[in-house]
Amino acid sequence: MKKFARVIIAVAALVLCFTLSACGNKYVSHYSAMLMVRENTSNKASVSFDSFSGTYVIQLKNKSADEVFINYEATLGEGNIKVYYDFNDEKLNLFEIETNGSVDGKTETFTGNKTIYIIIESDDKCNDGSFSFVLEKSEK
């Protein structure tokens, strides 16, 4: 009887762990990387790597009702990466960067106290990349 109770408790604990962890994020990172350095606060994020393959998700948070935009910069030594953003449940293309490429710019203006997702996706193995995203208040 004790063995049966332990099995039931273990199964319930596993189900609870998987249920709680699966509901937390809208997008999930799954990647392999070498020498990857990441920084992510509520209003800025950066990632640099020697090699990368997969999907990496960043969350930025507009903590006020102010209008904001994302200022971004990226460089890539080798490969092809597509970067998307999601603000109102719509995954939109932000930019694409290819071998020996660099890009900088800013997004449209966002309003509201919401999370903004940045999704970095590679087609295959990429080398020598650096990406930076900063949430800034819109000047009016």
pLDDT tens digits for range 107-123: 888 777 688 899 999 98
Residues sharing a CB contact under 8 Å with residue 130, sequence separation 6 or more, in sequence order: 46, 47, 48, 49, 73, 74, 75, 76
Structural domain tally of the chain?
A: 1
| 76 within a domain of the structure (yes/no) | yes
| 98 within a domain of the structure (yes/no) | yes
| 6 within a domain of the structure (yes/no) | no
Domain range for 96 is 28-137
| 7 within a domain of the structure (yes/no) | no
Task: pLDDT band for 7, please (50, 70, 90 cuts).
Answer: low
CATH number at residue 114: 2.60.120.260
Element (H, E) at 47: strand 44-61
90, 46 Cβ separation under 8 angstroms: no
| 4 within a domain of the structure (yes/no) | no
| 115 within a domain of the structure (yes/no) | yes
| pLDDT attached to residue 22 | 44
Q: Which residue in the block uniquely carries the two structure tokens 């998700």?
A: 57
| 18 within a domain of the structure (yes/no) | no
Name the E strands within 62-140: 68-78, 80-86, 91-98, 101-106, 115-122, 126-137
